Structure 1
Amino acid sequence: MDAAVALESTVIAHGLPAPHNLDAARRCEAAIRAEGARPCTIAILKGQVRVGLRPDELRRLATASDVRKVSLRDLPVVVARELDGATTVAATLHLAWRAGIPVMATGGIGGVHRRVDGRPAADISADLEALARIPAIVVCSGPKIILDLEATREQLETRGVTVVGYRTGTMPAFYCATSGLSVDVRCDTPEEVVALYRARLRLGLPGAVLVTVPPPDRVALPPESVLPALEQALRDAEARQLRAEALTPFLLARLRDRLGSRVLQANIALLEQNAIVAARIARVLATSAVSLP
């Protein structure tokens, strides 16, 4: 098996501001190569699914204004109309699995969105459905902190996704080292993660092993500094009646505006760290006897 790591492209086209988006993409790919694995950034270019991008194609995703954000529902539209698209976690996971790549790295997964009016949230990310369906290993820093973390954790449990704390006993929350919520199991090495994944495959279980990695200590943000800024950002979003795909980039941009460069530094650092962890897992998986379904 090839030691390959899939990378999503929405973070390049829509998640980070220029020029940091291109820098982060290059750093993640370089980190994977340095670990002896192969980076495969996934995107749709002129209607063609691309698993692995050239440097000029990464640059286009980072600079063009007409790159569509592509989740599962959007894939056939972008392909049929020969458009350019940056794939979310859900779409990347789907395309990576079809290409025979069972390991993926990202920043934070989507989940259940929060509301400020006290009503139950109806907006649930397609990432959760993909994680429940596709038997892969996804390395991230937990759900994005803009989400309802408790509801997202409950959804992961309900959908049968095994949540791993990588060298931690609690699930991180993107920029923050912990959400205060438990994981299903702690793993301290890539070998432990692969053993857990192999057990899931032998048992015929659908769905992913979600490996959650806290951001590096040097850049992790304390929740007490993030949550007030998040509450204000949610109120701003509610006033603008933002929903669906517009909500996440708006909230993340608001946090960057309010908390400054610390948010950007944390985001880039955790992306690079997750890429390294994923590459190490991919290398172990490539040398083990695993038969993918």
Structure 2
Amino acid sequence: MPYPENLKTAHDVEKIALDQGVLPATVGVIKGKVCVGLTTTQLEELASCEDAIKIPKREMVWAVSQQLSGGTTVSATMFAADVAGIPIFVTGGIGGCSQRCGETSLDISSDLTELSRTPVCVISAGVKSILDIPKTLEYLETEGVTVATYGASKEFPAFYTRSSGVNANINVENPTSAAKLIDLSFTLGMNCGILIGVPIPTEHSEDGDLIERAIQQAMIEHEEAGIKGKDVTPFILKRVNELTDGKALVSNIALVKHNTEVGCAIAKELSLLRKAKEGQRTLINHGSSDIGIPKRTFMTQSTNSSSNQSLLHRQSRGPLSKTKRCFHSNHTDSVERSQPVVIGASVIDFVASLKSSNIVYGGETNTGSLQVGFGGVGRNLSDCMSRIGQNSLFISAVGKDIHAQNLRHHCQHMNLEGLVDLDCSTATYCLVIDSNGDVLLGVGDMGITNELTIDHLMRLLKRWHEIMKFESAISQAPLVVLDGNLSVEVIDQICHFCSKKHIPVWFEPTCVSKAKKPFVSDTWRKISYASPNLNELRVMYATLEGEETVDFDSKIFDS
């Protein structure tokens, strides 16, 4: 799609998504970085870049290594979506088998092979009519890919036209049916994609015969010119647009927008379906009130510089959903319940407040007050959860000292089965504030948090399993919460363990200096939620990108 039509279409598609309550994010490769969620500046840069290339999956590594920019094909975008945990992706049309596939060549688009091995649903206006649609559908059948049409007809669409003369075996008539199909496919672990063909709107298919004749003419021209491989489709689409006086481009834009509308509707239904399933999931709350541990909801959009990929939807792996949900067990006669697990610091807080503005040094005593409290980010979170009726297993390290004894006595309302007694001092923090309430200095002894190893954690989890007589305590936890006081190694190990058990992880950054810990490696990919303030968010972003390239202040206040 030429500039500036590609940029305008991308903006229009994002607006369609936002108007439907879907958060769009654009996908592309910018200067060697695969981006899921381009900024406005990056989108404009990609759309207008004269050196932008078409990047299929096989060339992603090369493009990244050479720091190139370009639009991702269906195969590359499916790969990026799967890595990001996004189950739905909308595009204009997909590649397929060439007209002479099996006769003089084995020209099969990598889009098809990616559909056979990547669990992402692709919603498109079908296969481009320059390809062999019957062979394409036969290939997908051989590879075990579910192919369905959307709407009233089983006839598979042919991009610019609603009719191809070939029927799909499956038809989904509405977003609810489509969402159920997607959810069941991924729940059953089919480990392959789904292709849903959405016919171009009737009012934009009237020029189908004209466009088809132009396609045939363009195909003759490309053969005479000796154009081959991945350059064929861009050449034909450009030539068809020229031969139809721009009508093909108008139809292309129309079908992309229509696919986006359908994709958003399906994405929302899938989100509702999964929320309903989550609501049936885990525990009976015997407290005075229920707290919902939400699954994350994230929807994103992708644009290809040549074929204008449109929408991605992410459910269960992204930013926080603000919807409260309660987890109730189906076995209402059972006292067994799974608890969230909180892993983090237990700290004894000392606050020294000076009464006089005249501070005396040299070993003299200053008049003031001294207060003792019980803190630590992990302990605070677990304490708050218990006070609103959602008890959690709190795992933390304490010393064999009077501070640990006092903490156990003060926190009897919490589940402290996960406290590990170590041969060192319980973490302490002393804060000194002046008569105006301003902080003069702080002294912390937090070394014990680095002593909490994965071996301690696994031993405690096993002990908790034996005491509570659960089948698998940690595996049934609806959520594991980590605070930034833990060492990088322990955060990595816990996230890896939870990822294998399919347990969502919530990371609480704690402070600016500790916010980057999961982001110095690929551990952040295993985190479901994070709750940073603005400064912590900046550090997290800069750790991933190497520098802060987003004006967070303007984005926040503009929204």
What's the TM-score, normalizing by structure 1?
Answer: 0.89
Would you say the 8 A contact 2:81–2:120 is kept in 1? no
Which of 225, 237, 240 is the aligned partner of 2:225?
Answer: 240
Change (3 A) 1:120 1:154: farther
Measured in 2, the distance between the counterparts of 1:122 and 1:222 equals: 32
The alignment partner of 1:164 has SS state of strand
User: Residue 157 in 1 paired to residue 141 in 2?
Assistant: yes
Partner of 1:86: 71
Partner of 2:87: 102
Measured in 2, the distance between the counterparts of 1:131 and 1:41 equals: 20
The alignment partner of 1:178 has SS state of coil
Give 1:139's aligned amino acid: I
Measured in 2, the distance between the counterparts of 1:217 and 1:23 equals: 23
Per-residue CA deviation, residues 65-89 of structure 1 (Å, 9 max, x unaligned), is 1112111111111111222121111
Q: How many residues are matched?
A: 277
Change (3 A) 1:250 1:262: same
Measured in 1, the distance between the counterparts of 2:239 and 2:120 equals: 32
Q: Choose between structure 1 and 2: higher helix proportion.
A: 1
Which of 201, 206, 221 is the aligned partner of 2:191?
Answer: 206
Measured in 1, the distance between the counterparts of 2:246 and 2:224 equals: 26
Partner of 2:215: 230
User: Residue 21 in 1 paired to residue 16 in 2?
Assistant: no
Measured in 1, the distance between the counterparts of 2:56 and 2:36 equals: 16
Give 1:238's aligned amino acid: E
Which of 30, 35, 45 is the aligned partner of 2:15?
Answer: 30
Measured in 2, the distance between the counterparts of 1:220 and 1:78 equals: 36
Would you say the 8 A contact 2:211–2:248 is kept in 1? no
User: Residue 125 in 1 paired to residue 126 in 2?
Assistant: no
The alpha-carbon deviation at position 121 of structure 1 amounts to 3.9
Partner of 2:32: 47
Which of 171, 193, 202 is the aligned partner of 1:186?
Answer: 171
Would you say the 8 A contact 2:88–2:120 is kept in 1? yes
Per-residue CA deviation, residues 124-165 of structure 1 (Å, 9 max, x unaligned), is 111001111111211100011211111111112111111111
Would you say the 8 A contact 1:132–1:160 is kept in 2? yes
Measured in 1, the distance between the counterparts of 2:119 and 2:110 equals: 15
Would you say the 8 A contact 1:40–1:53 is kept in 2? yes
Structure 2 unaligned segments of length 5 or more: list them. Answer: 278-315, 318-501, 503-559
The alpha-carbon deviation at position 223 of structure 1 amounts to 4.8
Return 218-227 or 19-28, whichever deviates more: 218-227
Partner of 2:485: none
Return 252-261 or 134-143, whichever deviates more: 252-261
Give 2:124's aligned amino acid: C
The alpha-carbon deviation at position 228 of structure 1 amounts to 2.7
Partner of 2:45: 60
Measured in 2, the distance between the counterparts of 1:74 and 1:221 equals: 37
The alignment partner of 1:57 has SS state of helix
Give 1:85's aligned amino acid: G
The alpha-carbon deviation at position 266 of structure 1 amounts to 0.7
Partner of 1:75: 60
Give 1:150's aligned amino acid: P
The alignment partner of 2:24 has SS state of strand
Which of 244, 252, 261 is the aligned partner of 2:246?
Answer: 261
Higher relative contact order (CA 8 A, sep 6+): 1
What's the TM-score, normalizing by structure 2?
Answer: 0.48
The alpha-carbon deviation at position 120 of structure 1 amounts to 3.8
Change (3 A) 1:285 1:48: same
The alpha-carbon deviation at position 222 of structure 1 amounts to 5.5
Structure 1 unaligned segments of length 5 or more: list them. Answer: 1-15
The alpha-carbon deviation at position 229 of structure 1 amounts to 2.1
Measured in 2, the distance between the counterparts of 1:270 and 1:166 equals: 13
Would you say the 8 A contact 1:219–1:262 is kept in 2? no
The 4+ residue runs of structure 1 with deviation greater than 4 A are 290-293
Measured in 2, the distance between the counterparts of 1:51 and 1:224 equals: 37
Give 1:146's aligned amino acid: I
The alpha-carbon deviation at position 221 of structure 1 amounts to 4.1
Measured in 2, the distance between the counterparts of 1:74 and 1:146 equals: 24
Which of 138, 158, 163 is the aligned partner of 1:173?
Answer: 158
Measured in 2, the distance between the counterparts of 1:82 and 1:125 equals: 25
Flag the structure with larger Rg. 2
Would you say the 8 A contact 2:30–2:46 is kept in 1? no
Partner of 2:131: 147
Give 1:169's aligned amino acid: K
The CA RMSD over aligned residues, in Å, is 1.9
The alignment partner of 1:143 has SS state of coil
Give 1:131's aligned amino acid: L
